[in-house]
A = this chain, B = another copy of it.
Amino acid sequence: MTEIKDSAYAAIVSCGRTRFSELWEDSMSDLMLDSLLESLNSTNGNMEFKDIESMYVGNFISEKIVDQGLVAGELAQQFGTHIPIFRLEGACASGGLALYNACLGIKSGKFDVVAVCGVEKMTDRGEIVTDALAAAASDWERFYGNTFPGLYATLMARHMYEYGTTREQLAMVAVKNHQHAVNNDKAQYPFPIKIESVLKSPLIADPVRLLDCSPVSDGASSIILCKPEIAKKYTETPVYVTGAGAATDALSFFSRNDFTGLAVTRIAAQQAFRDAKILQKDVDILEVHDCFTIEEITALEDLKFVEKGEGGPFIGEAVDSFKGSKHIIYPTESGEIVVNCGGGLKADGHPVGATGSRQICEIWEQLLGIAGKKQVDLDTDLLTGVAHNIGGTGGVGSVHVLQV
């Protein structure tokens, strides 16, 4: 433990989140406030708002959907504070990048305690949200009418062509993640679905079907972090951020050599795993960015949990051997791993700016054994979790390692 603490970027004191859903009665401010207050309340009075020295907000399209920029001032108004607040925008990876910079803020010695808050309001403006999201694609991809489902359809089609990944295997990603959401009170879609339902769902952009897509959601999620040395002042059970990686890539597929995987995942993971001095076999739980079913499969490959092209069969076998416990468990070299414990983007929901920090909330709960009905139960202790967050079609990405 001493070793982990010494090399860590930061210690997580607490996390909190709202339900992910269509939350028409809550403003963006309400959502931020609710999730931050839940984080604070979880400390049982060991931490008060005045202990927080700065905040990092992850948010993508508030200007487009709710016409609000300068979220920092909005948040300052809610809390009546003057602390520095920074907004990081990296499309759907905004939350992960906010955490990354919060870690550097602590590591720099400038702040002892910081909060991260990811937030997005999306469902109020259903008629413009597809266009708004397309702002994370390149001009040249949008000019000819492409959308995000269209771009991921390209990736999916090529992966099927190159590696023989089947429609059934892809559907199993959605089936697995819906199964994981069944016990998640805060998930947008806490119900199981069948493979046939995915295969028969409306075609959005061939071969992507409706149930391959993560939903449009409202929600917020928060993390309170502190300098590792002072963590015990605020909590008996700190979770440490021991690895942090971030990378970028050309915005558009046509500028890359390959689009059956994402370079940002490979590079960010390498950094984060090296930082934390862990190998894939050390990971117990993994949150990956399953914005579309294909992306969970390529993430498993890019994160090197399986060889390139083997992501499809890997999930296929796991789902086939599922015996009806709460979670579908993948075998790894030295044990077992659960991926997207609370339903992932697909079933828990995907309020884009809030997803990166929601993944951290999930891992924090699981590692501490406080995830309630959705608690993962493996033969070994849960010691290490990894979060993988992607923006655009891999224009940016972050990977974080959390350990107890």
Contact = CB atoms under 8 A, between A and B. Distances in A.
B135 A84 contact: no
A84 B251 contact: no
Nearest to A267: B82
Contacts of A80: 250
A81 interface: yes
A81 B248 CA distance: 7
Copies in the complex: 2
A101 interface: yes
Nearest to A248: B76
A105 interface: yes
A69 to B, nearest CB: 4
Contact of A76 (B64, B132, B251): B251
A60 to B, nearest CB: 6
Contacts of A77: 138, 250-252, 255
Give the 4 A-B residue pairs with the shortest CB-CB distance, closest first. A73-B395, A73-B251, A76-B248, A69-B135
26 contacts: A61-B69, A63-B63, A67-B135, A70-B90, A70-B135, A71-B89, A73-B136, A73-B395, A73-B396, A76-B396, A77-B250, A77-B251, A82-B263, A82-B267, A84-B246, A84-B396, A85-B248, A86-B90, A86-B97, A88-B88, A88-B89, A103-B108, A104-B108, A107-B108, A107-B110, A108-B108
Interface of A: 60-61, 63-64, 67-77, 80-91, 97, 100-101, 103-105, 107-110, 132, 135-136, 138-139, 142, 246-252, 255, 263-264, 267, 391-392, 395-396
